[in-house]
Amino acid sequence: MSGCQPVNTPIEEGLKLCVESNQVSTDKGRYQRLVGRLMYLAHTRPDLAYALSVVSQYMHNPGEQHMNAVMRILRYLKNAHVKGILFAKNVNHQSIEVYTNADWAGAVDDRRSTSGYFTFVGGNLVTWKSKKQNVVARSSAKAEFRGMALGLCEALWLRLLLQDLGYLSRQPIRLFCDNKAACDIAHNLVQHDRTKHVDVDRFFIKEKLDDKIVELPKIRSEDQLADILTKAVSSQVFSKFLDKLGMCDIYAPT
């Protein structure tokens, strides 16, 4: 890959991978080794989370299109190998924020949604996740509910961790979701859905809202950082959000 052309994003904008009946096969062992090694980077590289979440779904039956997607990740790393997360000093070090999003029915093979979240402590990014949901959501609001519940669980765990370290935070967790329908239902006591998993998520979020443990500030869709965990965005959007996540050239002079 030393002579490859570098790219600005780890996955092509708008790309939707799937299993095709007439797909050209590729070296399965090589594919699995490449993806497996790249997965280690995802622990410290949130910019790779979505791309790796996508390609890891085809470990048992990879085709040429899937291998090309993995090669693009390597081309991106050639261009972004010096990127890392900057942890800046913040006086409000007990604040917890979480950005959640979901790409409704985005998976072509089974129409399941992909959800993702970023969590910040003291304004610094600490955890993130991009994962395809286990069930099919019948509306975007239901897909968002699942993503909100997962992100809130992570934020509550971080809150308990801070308490164990001696930092008793009385500030509510700020959960940012750009789906108005999901936010409205979370505040509304009226029963909207009898599907069990949606019902549980709704009551879980509503309980935390009533207890003042979490709040749902409004956020514009163009400011939703978790977009890069659920879909393949343009290079301009990708670069803008990486800056907001605190990712920068770790070797650049300060």
pLDDT at 169: 80
pLDDT, one tens digit per residue, over 151-202 is 999 999 999 999 999 988 889 999 999 999 888 888 875 555 555 556 788 8
Considering the domain architecture, whether residues 56 and 123 belong to the same structural domain is answered as: no
Task: Give the span between the Cα atoms of 195 and 177, in whole angstroms.
Answer: 21
Say if 235 falls within a structural domain: no
How is residue 79 annotated by DSSP? H
pLDDT at 191: 52
Considering the domain architecture, whether residues 119 and 210 belong to the same structural domain is answered as: yes
The CATH number of the domain holding residue 192 is 3.30.420.10
Considering the domain architecture, whether residues 32 and 155 belong to the same structural domain is answered as: no
Q: Is 110 exposed, middle or buried (0-12, 13-18, 19+ CB in 10 A)?
A: exposed
201-223 mean pLDDT:
92
Strands (DSSP E) contained in the chain are: 83-85, 96-103, 114-121, 124-132, 173-176, 214-215, 247-249
Considering the domain architecture, whether residues 69 and 186 belong to the same structural domain is answered as: no
Domain C-terminal end among 52, 81, 110: 81
User: 124 forms bridges with which residues in the sheet?
Assistant: 121
pLDDT at 250: 86
What is the number of structural domains in the chain?
Answer: 2
221 residue type, one letter = S
pLDDT, one tens digit per residue, over 103-152 is 999 999 999 999 999 999 999 999 999 999 998 988 888 899 899 999 99
pLDDT at 182: 87
Say if 253 falls within a structural domain: no
pLDDT at 34: 97
Task: Give the span between the Cα atoms of 19 and 62, in whole angstroms.
Answer: 8
pLDDT, one tens digit per residue, over 33-67 is 999 999 998 899 999 999 999 999 999 999 999 99
Say if 242 falls within a structural domain: no
Say if 247 falls within a structural domain: no
Structure confidence at residue 89 as a pLDDT band (50, 70, 90): confident
Considering the domain architecture, whether residues 114 and 190 belong to the same structural domain is answered as: yes
pLDDT at 22: 86
pLDDT at 1: 66
Considering the domain architecture, whether residues 66 and 118 belong to the same structural domain is answered as: no
Do residues 250 and 82 lie in contact, with contact meaning Cβ atoms separated by under 8 Å? yes
pLDDT at 197: 57
Residue 41, domain extent: 1-81
Edge to edge, what strands does the sheet with 173-176 contain? 124-132, 114-121, 96-103, 173-176, 214-215
Please tell me the pTM assigned to this model.
Answer: 0.92
Considering the domain architecture, whether residues 120 and 64 belong to the same structural domain is answered as: no
Considering the domain architecture, whether residues 75 and 48 belong to the same structural domain is answered as: yes
Say if 251 falls within a structural domain: no
pLDDT at 95: 93
